[in-house]
Chains A and B, each alone.
Chain A
Amino acid sequence: EVHLVESGGGLVKPGGSLRLSCAASGFTFSTFSIDWVRQAPGKGLEWVSSIDSSSTYIFYADSLKGRFTISRDNAKNSLYLQMNSLRAEDTAVYFCARESAAGMIGFDYWGQGTLVTVSS
């Protein structure tokens, strides 16, 4: 069974940093692209970043302006999101999600999310 489990969220002050992790199991992690999606309290979904299976193609939402870095370790079946210069507007639940098989549009498995709160 496919599982994605996020961790690393918490309370951080504005300007601080945080590193999120996503542990994957139940599938061949090294063959799938994985994404981060966030959801501010009471708001809709916002795509954050994606990374392909070999870390060759990495994309970010324009709104992040270089503050976030996505990475993965296929040997550890893990995905990461390094978040720097955090702002109050980065407060959200952060989900990791697996992209469907190549050529199909949709994220077929999601973790339950980890809450990041940016506040002084």
Chain B
Amino acid sequence: EIVLTQSPATLSLSPGERATLSCRASQSVSSYLAWYQQKPGQAPRLLIYDASNRATGIPARFSGSGSGTDFTLTISSLEPEDFAVYYCQQRSNWPPGYTFGQGTKLEIK
């Protein structure tokens, strides 16, 4: 079973700063990776699909990169509404299904 490890667990930054979130897979997942944002009391929102493609309506300050085992979500200049928890997700062919990382909490410094 593929394990996704996100780092750091918590990231403290100020509005306007650049955020870099990491997601590492225990074995290659090719580009089968997505990123989500979740705010308290809300459902997750898809940000990035297939490792590097922004979902519909997602601002250009969000970008994803990587392939194989190492992936990065970058927020170029933090807005107040970006402080939330971020999850990565991968799809595996065997066993068939999906796995989420444990999340990175992005908090205001």
Interface residues of A, Cβ cutoff 8 Å to B = 35, 37, 44-47, 50, 57, 59-62, 95, 97, 100, 104-108, 110-113
Q: List 7 A-B pairs, minimum CB-CB distance, nearest first.
A: A106-B49, A106-B34, A110-B43, A47-B98, A45-B100, A59-B96, A105-B32
CB atoms of A60 and B97 under 8 A apart: yes
- Please pick, from A44, A60, A62, A104, the residue contacting B100 in the complex, using a CB distance under 8 A: A44
- Please pick, from A59, A62, A111, the residue contacting B43 in the complex, using a CB distance under 8 A: A111
Interface residues of B, Cβ cutoff 8 Å to A = 1, 31-34, 36, 38, 42-46, 48-51, 53, 55-56, 87, 89-91, 95-103
**Min C-beta distance of A111 to chain B, whole Å:** 7
- In the complex, what distance in Å separates the CA atom of A5 from the CA atom of B52? 29
CB atoms of B34 and A62 under 8 A apart: no
Contacts of B100 in A (CB 8 A): 37, 44-47
**Min C-beta distance of A34 to chain B, whole Å:** 13
CB atoms of A106 and B96 under 8 A apart: no
With contact pairs A50-B97, A50-B98, A105-B49 given, residues A44 and B103 touching in the complex (Cβ less than 8 Å): yes
Contacts of A106 in B (CB 8 A): 34, 46, 48-50, 55, 89
Contacts of A113 in B (CB 8 A): 43
CB atoms of B1 and A62 under 8 A apart: yes
- In the complex, what distance in Å separates the CA atom of A90 from the CA atom of B87? 21
**Min C-beta distance of A4 to chain B, whole Å:** 9
- In the complex, what distance in Å separates the CA atom of A57 from the CA atom of B1? 19
With contact pairs A104-B50, A105-B49, A105-B50 given, residues A44 and B102 touching in the complex (Cβ less than 8 Å): yes
